[in-house]
Structure 1
Amino acid sequence: MMKRNIIKSAAGLLTVLSLTITGCSNFLDINDNPNKAETGDPNLVLPSAQAAIAQVVGCHFQIYGGIWNQYWTQNFGNSQYKSVEQYLVQGSDFDRPWQTLYADAMTDLQMISEKAGEAKFRQYAAIALILKAYDLQLLTDAFGDIPMKEALQGESKDSYAPHYDAQAEVYDSIFAMIDRAKGWIDPESAFLPGPEDLIFGGDMDQWTRFANTLKLRAYLRLAYVNKDKAQAGITALQGAEFLTESAQIDYISTGGNNNPLYAELYALGQYRQLRTSNSLFKQMQYRKDPRIDVYFQIISGVRRGMDQASYDIGPNGSTPATIFGADPLNTDAALAPVKFISAYESYFLQAEAVARGWLTGNTAAGLFQQGIQASFDAYHATPGTYITTQVAGFPATGVEAQVDSIITQKYFAMALNQNFEAWTEWRRTGYPKSFFVKPVTGTLPANTYPSRFLYPNTELTRNPNFPGAKVITDKVWWDTKD
């Protein structure tokens, strides 16, 4: 796997340290005016934007996605995430990630992408536009309809009170942005980014693969809401190259350069707030999944889970392994990467597309196997007979049966490291089936679970064009499958 450390040079060190990244709740307050960035130099702005996205993906979205996808649960004796477990969230809980994805990340990405006309900045612009599409997908998958066309209009009045665009329109823009950015990519350019590109170090071939994989992900999101469009878009990707290495940001143990989840938990008093949920643990145990010894730490001589939201009952479950950043008592957790798109996600996306008959050239079973193998490789786990057993049990026919198997294995591969995306795939497909349980202290009826994030309170109080509040059981546009 390609390793891109965020500290590659003195310039990179100064850039990252200047951001003072310190977890979920107090980071990247660098743009008081969300429509006017401090600098126009892409060498400085690009890493700032990438780090901002990683903060949200790796911390706030990671926490909510992990709890709502029942990967982990609040530990016994603490209370930091009790309200999340109980589904008693408020709009103000989402003020910070909304601001970061818009005011910090997207504003900077917009500014860089507008420099595509300058040859020396065109590759930066291509990366920025791809990441803007990625950023928009995060926002719309989390919140539904979002401001887009009027959100980044400089100093115009619309940028301070933007109207909301329908999710279908946002997705159309995502596809268009990816296509436009790919047209700018030139791996032979004399003006390639270097270590200031925290994800691929200026490797534009990798950015092409990232763009293709992101586009595949986005089209598959439409599989149940607009099958014809999804099929046409994916079929047009025939022959494209997809990621075989994870797109991620790696961190170091130096203060301000830690994994954002680690930094958040460390700042909360160094308590192991997040523990392994039985919803995940027992399923892996039942399947004799060897990754169980890699994913979870030993507690009281064993590895174990705890029932979802049983924080007033105990006993505690295992702390997730340091490779996931969730252990503030071990500095190794500070090094955990934030994954934008993993290699195993790429293989599972391709496997689903082939299972649906929308891509050819490989078998769904073969790509399914590569996806599981890539997960084991990423965490240096020894598979034994697990992979061959899973492949032997892969359904020979039946699209939904095959998709069920693919998404179920994706659930285990993404566990504890791509929590929001895994939760989003569960919302889209309904797979895996029957894994979730009613949390011990959950406030929703049995078999009812969150389907979205709430719009931030800042939109309700400041934007006169706010379209109205939602509740967490309101489904987003593409979430149509029973």
Structure 2
Amino acid sequence: MIKKLFPLLIIALLASSCNSQLDEINKNPNATETPQAPYLLTSALKQGADLYWGSESNFNSSLLFVQHWAKIQYAEPDRYDVSNSSFTSLWNTGYSTLITDLNTILNSQDNQVNSNYKGIALTLRSWVFLLLTDAYGSIPYQEAGLKITPAYNTQKEVYTGLLADLTQAQSLLATANGSVSGDVVYSGNISKWKKLVNSLRLRIALRISDKEPDLAKQAAIAATGDAAGLLAGNSDTFQFVYASSPQQNPASAWFDTRDDYRISKTMVDKLYELSDPRLPVYAQLPSDPSVGKYVGGANGLSNSDANSQGFAKTSKPGTYFLAPQSPAVIFSYSEVLFARAEAVARGYISGDAEQLYKSAITASLNQFGITDATVIANYLSQPGVKYDATNFAKSIGIQKWIAFFGQGLDAFAEWRRLDYPVLTAGPATVLDGQIPSRFFYPGTEQSLNGVSYKAAISAQGKDLLTTKLWFDAK
């Protein structure tokens, strides 16, 4: 009997030893078993700012589409000669990094984080989803982070869901609910986060205004009537302030080693036309002193024609945008005032649309360091700047386009929605005279989430740059 049991005992001991060793071997000594909310929050704010102001989502795509910037070499993106691998960072970083980390905060036990962390996380997640749907259209929303192959929601469903999410975020935020660490934007000021929530609700209300005016009006009333208020001054602007290298502004890092962008001729010409005092902020004088004036680069040129404009004879974007510490503005006070003006013009809320419009322009001028009252008054009194109540979309659209300089993704969304200013595709563009209306879905969606991808494009339209999105389909 002993002889029979002995081999079994040896095997049992070996198995036990092996399992113990495997448990230890399979532990990642560098992994964080319980991610801490403050660190996740800091990371989300930094990576979100990098994504919003970075090359792929901003100055190599959306800033070119709205003709804020232009390319002076390697001009393919400025001609819309791009593929379904051209816009992957917004999708990949948005889902795999930002939404994943923010969901980790939201799914934390209540004894690990207070509700303010969850309210901030839900606010930031809503902002990320908003960027995604504005750029691509239908996106994984309700099943995002829950399934390996999530279904897509229509853009209408996403916007409606985000309004509900932001209402929930507002209910989670209260100064009495505990302090917040890791907030490198508002330093744990919950009152400012609550203002941002309402401002995002107002932004979404206007996104849906041409398609769902009743819901838009309801959302606008709720956002502007909430006791927490909206962003109420430039000190409330939601922005990430960068530091020195290697934590500098993405545009600054790009221009440290490359020189392939200029401010767009479209923008320079408009600023000259309006004698706009923001021109010296938005642009640099060409390095060739004989030029003596600001010269924008034309959009949509061939490589040779773009190069022939002359590196020394054209204007780079202003140093305000290229300095290492330049802030990544994500939601400005100026935008809130423009939104309020439009909400009044549409009859959603009460107020003086013209005065709010003037205040919005003033806030933008102040944001860029222009504070002289006489300069501001002279600018506002120009015929080309005065508010036109018979065509509020034109007045607000043009001035909002100027104020959004550098914020490519939102400038692109608002230009598509308001249809102003009227832009013309460059002579060498490849879309038969059209300007893009959306981003391509990443190619990986076809191979890794093919069923959901096919269902989405079947409902929304072909996966083309020129397919109009729901909010833009007038």
**Please, what TM-score do these two structures have when normalized by structure 2?**
0.84
- Structure with larger Rg: 2
Code of the residue aligned with 1:389 in structure 2: it is S
| Residue in structure 2 matched with residue 424 of structure 1 by the alignment | 413
Q: 1:90 aligns with which of 83, 87, 100?
A: 83
User: Pairwise mapping of residues 100-111 of structure 1 onto structure 2 (< 5 A)?
Assistant: 100-111=93-104
| Residue in structure 2 matched with residue 274 of structure 1 by the alignment | 261
Cα deviations by residue, 1:338-394 (Å, 9 ceiling, x for unpaired): 11201111111111111111112x311111111111111111125344443159963
Alpha-carbon spacing, 1:395–1:251, altered in 2? closer, same or farther (3 Å): closer
| Residue in structure 2 matched with residue 342 of structure 1 by the alignment | 332
Is 1:205 the counterpart of 2:191 in the alignment?
yes
Is 1:235 the counterpart of 2:221 in the alignment?
yes
CA distance in 2, matches of 1:397, 1:281: 26
> 1:280 Cα shift?
0.8
Code of the residue aligned with 2:394 in structure 1: it is D
Code of the residue aligned with 2:200 in structure 1: it is L
| Residue in structure 1 matched with residue 243 of structure 2 by the alignment | 252
> 1:44 Cα shift?
0.8
Alpha-carbon spacing, 1:38–1:338, altered in 2? closer, same or farther (3 Å): farther
CA contact (8 A) 1:37 1:107 kept: no
CA contact (8 A) 1:373 1:387 kept: no
Identify the range of structure 1 (342-351 vs 116-125) with the bigger mean alpha-carbon deviation: 116-125
Q: 1:412 aligns with which of 394, 402, 411?
A: 402
- Segments of structure 1 that go 5 or more residues without pairing to the other structure are 1-35, 154-158, 326-332
Alpha-carbon spacing, 1:393–1:151, altered in 2? closer, same or farther (3 Å): closer
> 1:463 Cα shift?
1.4
Q: 2:171 aligns with which of 183, 188, 202?
A: 183
Is 1:368 the counterpart of 2:357 in the alignment?
yes
Q: 1:172 aligns with which of 156, 160, 170?
A: 160
Alpha-carbon spacing, 1:386–1:424, altered in 2? closer, same or farther (3 Å): farther
User: Pairwise mapping of residues 397-408 of structure 1 onto structure 2 (< 5 A)?
Assistant: 397-398=389-390, 401-408=391-398
CA contact (8 A) 1:39 1:45 kept: no
Alpha-carbon spacing, 1:334–1:356, altered in 2? closer, same or farther (3 Å): same
Compare the two structures and name the one with the higher helix fraction. Answer: 2
CA contact (8 A) 2:198 2:224 kept: no
CA contact (8 A) 2:57 2:89 kept: no
CA distance in 1, matches of 2:84, 2:308: 29
User: Pairwise mapping of residues 295-310 of structure 1 onto structure 2 (< 5 A)?
Assistant: 295-299=282-286, 300-301=288-289, 302-310=293-301
**RMSD (Å), alpha carbons:** 2.0
- Segments of structure 2 that go 5 or more residues without pairing to the other structure are 1-30
| Residue in structure 2 matched with residue 13 of structure 1 by the alignment | none
Cα deviations by residue, 1:213-272 (Å, 9 ceiling, x for unpaired): 0000001001111112111221233433111221000001131x1112322443xxx122
Cα deviations by residue, 1:253-302 (Å, 9 ceiling, x for unpaired): 131x1112322443xxx122210111111011011111112211111233
For residue 275 of structure 2, give the secondary structure of its aligned residue in structure 1: coil
For residue 86 of structure 2, give the secondary structure of its aligned residue in structure 1: helix
| Residue in structure 1 matched with residue 66 of structure 2 by the alignment | 69
For residue 115 of structure 1, give the secondary structure of its aligned residue in structure 2: coil
CA distance in 2, matches of 1:412, 1:112: 36
Cα deviations by residue, 1:63-112 (Å, 9 ceiling, x for unpaired): 1111000111112xx31xx2211111111112222110001000111111
CA distance in 1, matches of 2:471, 2:337: 22
Identify the range of structure 1 (347-356 vs 373-382) with the bigger mean alpha-carbon deviation: 373-382
Q: 1:441 aligns with which of 428, 441, 446?
A: 428
CA contact (8 A) 2:438 2:469 kept: yes
Q: 2:149 aligns with which of 161, 170, 175?
A: 161
Code of the residue aligned with 1:152 in structure 2: it is G
